[in-house]
Amino acid sequence: QLQASGGGLVQAGGSLRLSCAAFGRTFSSYNMGWFRQAPGKEREFVAAITWGYDITYYADSVKGRFTISRDNAKNTVYLQMRSLKPEDTAVYYCAGGPRGWSIEREYDYWGQGTLVTVSS
């Protein structure tokens, strides 16, 4: 029901925009989030956006470089990533849920992940 896309290989300092499209369900009344999992590490929170008022919240590691946004008409959430660093390399997952925020278990729906590789 959630499909993430937009990952790829980028040089350090570059930009990528990830997309998360929802199918079969309207996510306009759900909070949406992005998480990532680097090789050998636990999955971690990246960013979240509320269903109303588009209030956003970011992990300290990406604050000022990443921007989460949503287009409810397109049932899609975006993660604009700028000034990418090698440590941003990970599989990025989108998630949705009425009570979702910065913790994995708060989310009910998950996308399959898209790989972002940042070369130095």
**pLDDT of 106-117, one tens digit each?**
999 999 999 999
Residue 25 has pLDDT above 90, yes or no: no
pLDDT of 77: 96
User: Taking residues 24-40, what's their average pLDDT?
Assistant: 90
pLDDT of 27: 83
Q: 31 with 48: CB under 8 angstroms?
A: yes
Percent of the chain with pLDDT over 90: 88
More confident position, 14 or 29: 14
Question: Under DSSP, is residue 97 helix (H, G, I), strand (E, B) or coil?
Answer: strand
Read off the pLDDT of residues 39-77 as tens digits, 9 standing for 90 and up: 999 999 999 999 888 999 999 999 999 999 999 889 999
Interstrand relation of 109-110 and 90-97 (parallel, antiparallel or unpaired): antiparallel
